[in-house]
Structure 1
Amino acid sequence: MRRRNFIKAAGAAGVSALVAGCSAEPVDDGGDSASNESTEGTETGTTTGTPSGSATLRVATYTSFVDAPSSSPGPWIKEQFESEFDATLEWQTPENEINYFIERAAQGVDIESDAYVGLDTNMLIRVDENVDGELFASVDSGAVEGRDAVKSGLEFDPQERAVPYDTGYISLVYNENQATAPETFDGLLRPEFEGDLLAQDPQSSATGQAFLLHTIKAKGEDGYLDYWSQLQDNGVRVLGKWEDAYAAYSNGEAPMVVSYSTDQVFANAEGEDLSEHQIRFLNGEAYANPEGMARFADAPSPDLANQFLSFMLRPEVQAEIAVRNVAFPAISDAPLPEDFAQYAKEPETPVTFTYEELQGNLSEWTDAWAQQFASN
């Protein structure tokens, strides 16, 4: 997922320095900001070089999918797609991501892109609340080969516009040399874990929002605020974004941090001590954050866009995306490398809220959390 460029570039010793010098591109954004900022400006990060006479497929995505300092799926996908299809794949990375297209649609400006890679449930809700009409087209499984192979548990769009292509799971990462993480949410409240947990602000972080939603799943709408009050009493530290919390964890400020269950993939690749990168699924669960792709309703090249979606669902392409994006594939038969399969931990029970459950509730839940957390 998007935090990979932070870990790989920072390394164990350089985490703090990188956080201090982060650019405007958030590593842990994932559409997690609740604000609808103005999206004036032009699209940036576009790959150029269209051969004369060939078709052009324009695909929008988030920046690190294309040019993270570690590894990114984008360049590999472009090379493989162009080697097979008589077309040039042109990546587009607008600074404000999906908000850029929401603003264009609101202004009645033509959408000159064919597809979008990197959608999540919250983004779709934002689209549907702010766009009068269709921004994305529903995907006909007959037009997109491999559509039916996507794991049913990852589906998050009731209108069948977004096609999942990978997913991440939010879990605890802990240093077993300093503490043994509890097995349950209630365990985090025990006195021996006072001050041991680092989390993220759900108003500005995808991981923080996922952890908040997991606590709502575990404690219910009527109980999650009381649970967070008890977490505060036990010294939980809530920092801004994922990179802030992970930097504090890497610097030894606390033995547990809310992060991703693929953490050992990074640690193994960097030769780090895996005892400092243990994974805990509270209550045997982890919150799933699938990412999806969709074709714009007014795509200039709809047939080519469908071919691209089909290409992205091929088992060998799914495996490559999973490794380069450090996430789990959306299909069951992707041929993952042995080391990735060994170190990427998958929960016994993934949990998530549906589109219908989040629509109209997410902002209310988050605002109530923020109000209480600030007052305590």
Structure 2
Amino acid sequence: MSRDRIDRRRFIQTAGAAGAALLAGCSADEVDSPTDTTDPTDTTSTTVGTTDRSSDTLVVATYSSFIDAVSTSPGGWIKQRFESEFDADLVWQTPPNELDQYIQRANADVEIDADVYVGLNVDGLIRLDENLEQDSLFATAPDLDGTADIKDGLNFDPQGRAVTYDTGYISLVWNATADGDEFVAPETFDGLLESEYAGDLIAQNPSSSATGRAFLLHTIQAKGEENYLGYWADLQENDVRILGSWGDAYSAYGNDEAPMVVSYSTDQVYANRAEQDMDRHQIRFLNDQGYANPEGMAQFANSDSPELARSFMEFMLRPEVQAEVAVRNVAFPAITDAEFGEEHAEYEQYAQVPPEAVSFSYDELRGNLQGWIEDWSRQIAGN
């Protein structure tokens, strides 16, 4: 289950406006999930729309928070807009184990009644390719209108299955009202090690939090594979606090337990919506960088409606759709020319893009990611 992602939506759904200010952005926040914990024949899911399958029905699999928070999720808007234009029924499918459910079903030779998957990331693709025992779960993406406009560096699938539709950026969120309005977050990774910031940072465990995993990867980018564990040891010496999930970390930050937390650069979007003090929601891109967490979509190889699936993927890349999905998913468009319009001017103002986006590629992560996390867990979490 996507623990971090669920935590983030619950702030919106249960805490009201004040809690909304604690929800810090992109919903692409998921934990590593084992591929052997769910019955592959279990078809439990949330379905929106008709369940009758016909040639004008498109079944789209995704994570639950993409559709279940009416005020912030893009699913309802996408369904209404797509159905009205294409004279088709769009059915959302949200299995409890997300992508792993389809890996298990494929390995068990159980039919997959879905056409498109929305919400892939590089970690999921690696997990797929390492665990799938059958032929490819996803087809190579067809030539789509709009792919030429995807920003450089966001395409994360070397096999050409996943097409990026949005991204988020990991940053620090910091409280300028701390220390009698004197607190200022450091500008670099090295700055976090200075004694004046002892005990001031809350991070997340990379083995259980996608936010924490991205921050770990950013430290490896910044310090190198040979030096990142030494850097984390220095962070421990400076009393970094490591919690299990984004929700735990951000709750602690919201309760003034520390003036800095690892989070997302869309934090001010929610702060603005809830009319919060923006001084408590400052963004810091360490080393002038943000670690990118792009999300992608892919067509299932055995789709019953490949042409409709293609139309849907092109629809998702349109400039006006890109803007609406980004706003509702509290993320950033994948394309360079998204059309926000005046109604989303505040979003453009408060969603902050880093001077430089960094990330590891699929090839760099496959065969290394799990080892990096395990080494971190032995040395850092074990102490």
* Structure 2 counterpart of 1:75: 76
* Structure 2 counterpart of 1:33: 32
Distance 1:371 1:52, change over 3 A: closer
1:174-213 counterparts in 2 under 5 A?
A: 174-178=174-178, 179-213=183-217
Structure 1 distance, partners of 2:346, 2:317, is 22
Counterpart amino acid of 1:82?
A: E
1:69 shift after superposition: 5.5
Structure 1 distance, partners of 2:54, 2:355, is 50
1:13 shift after superposition: 5.4
* Structure 1 counterpart of 2:373: 366
Distance 1:73 1:370, change over 3 A: same
Does the aligned pair in 1 maintain the 2:28–2:168 contact within 8 Å?
A: no
* Structure 2 counterpart of 1:107: 108
Distance 1:247 1:52, change over 3 A: closer
Q: Deviations over 1:341-364 (max 9, x none)?
A: 110000011000000000000000
Structure 2 distance, partners of 1:268, 1:7, is 15
Q: Deviations over 1:28-70 (max 9, x none)?
A: 7744224224221223111133689761100000000001264
Matched, 1:328 2:329: no
Counterpart amino acid of 2:153?
A: G
* Structure 2 counterpart of 1:24: none
Distance 1:228 1:34, change over 3 A: farther
Specify every segment of 5 or more residues in structure 2 that has no aligned partner in the other structure, as ranges. none
Does the aligned pair in 1 maintain the 2:45–2:96 contact within 8 Å?
A: yes
Specify every segment of 5 or more residues in structure 1 that has no aligned partner in the other structure, as ranges. 19-26
* Structure 2 counterpart of 1:23: none
* Structure 2 counterpart of 1:21: none
Does the aligned pair in 1 maintain the 2:187–2:287 contact within 8 Å?
A: yes
* Structure 1 counterpart of 2:159: 159
Q: Deviations over 1:231-260 (max 9, x none)?
A: 001010000110110000001100000000
Does the aligned pair in 2 maintain the 1:32–1:122 contact within 8 Å?
A: no
Matched, 1:135 2:134: no
Structure 2 distance, partners of 1:139, 1:121, is 16
Q: Deviations over 1:285-324 (max 9, x none)?
A: 0100000000001111111100000000011100100100
Q: Deviations over 1:195-218 (max 9, x none)?
A: 000001100111000000000000
Does the aligned pair in 2 maintain the 1:4–1:70 contact within 8 Å?
A: no
Q: Deviations over 1:264-284 (max 9, x none)?
A: 000001000000000000000
Does the aligned pair in 2 maintain the 1:4–1:326 contact within 8 Å?
A: no
* Structure 2 counterpart of 1:96: 97
1:11 shift after superposition: 4.7
Does the aligned pair in 2 maintain the 1:50–1:88 contact within 8 Å?
A: no
Distance 1:163 1:38, change over 3 A: same
Structure 2 distance, partners of 1:330, 1:103, is 29
* Structure 2 counterpart of 1:87: 88
Does the aligned pair in 1 maintain the 2:105–2:111 contact within 8 Å?
A: yes
> Secondary structure at the residue paired with 1:271?
coil
Structure 2 distance, partners of 1:8, 1:185, is 31
1:338 shift after superposition: 1.3
1:374 shift after superposition: 3.1
Counterpart amino acid of 1:103?
A: Q
Does the aligned pair in 2 maintain the 1:262–1:327 contact within 8 Å?
A: yes
Q: Deviations over 1:94-153 (max 9, x none)?
A: 000000000001111121100000000000001111113200011122xx2212221121
Equivalent residue for 1:279, pick from 264, 278, 283: 283
* Structure 1 counterpart of 2:222: 218
Does the aligned pair in 1 maintain the 2:326–2:333 contact within 8 Å?
A: yes
Does the aligned pair in 2 maintain the 1:120–1:290 contact within 8 Å?
A: yes
1:223 shift after superposition: 0.3
Structure 2 distance, partners of 1:28, 1:211, is 16
Equivalent residue for 1:299, pick from 303, 324, 331: 303
Q: TM-score, normalised by structure 2?
A: 0.91
Q: Deviations over 1:5-26 (max 9, x none)?
A: 23423257558xx9xxxxxxxx
The share of aligned pairs that are identical, in percent, is 58
Structure 2 distance, partners of 1:129, 1:53, is 33
Does the aligned pair in 1 maintain the 2:28–2:293 contact within 8 Å?
A: no
1:315-354 counterparts in 2 under 5 A?
A: 315-336=319-340, 337-354=344-361
RMSD, aligned α-carbons: 2.0
Structure 2 distance, partners of 1:130, 1:14, is 38
Structure 2 distance, partners of 1:332, 1:29, is 20
Q: Structure 1 residues 54-63 or 156-165, which shifts more?
A: 54-63
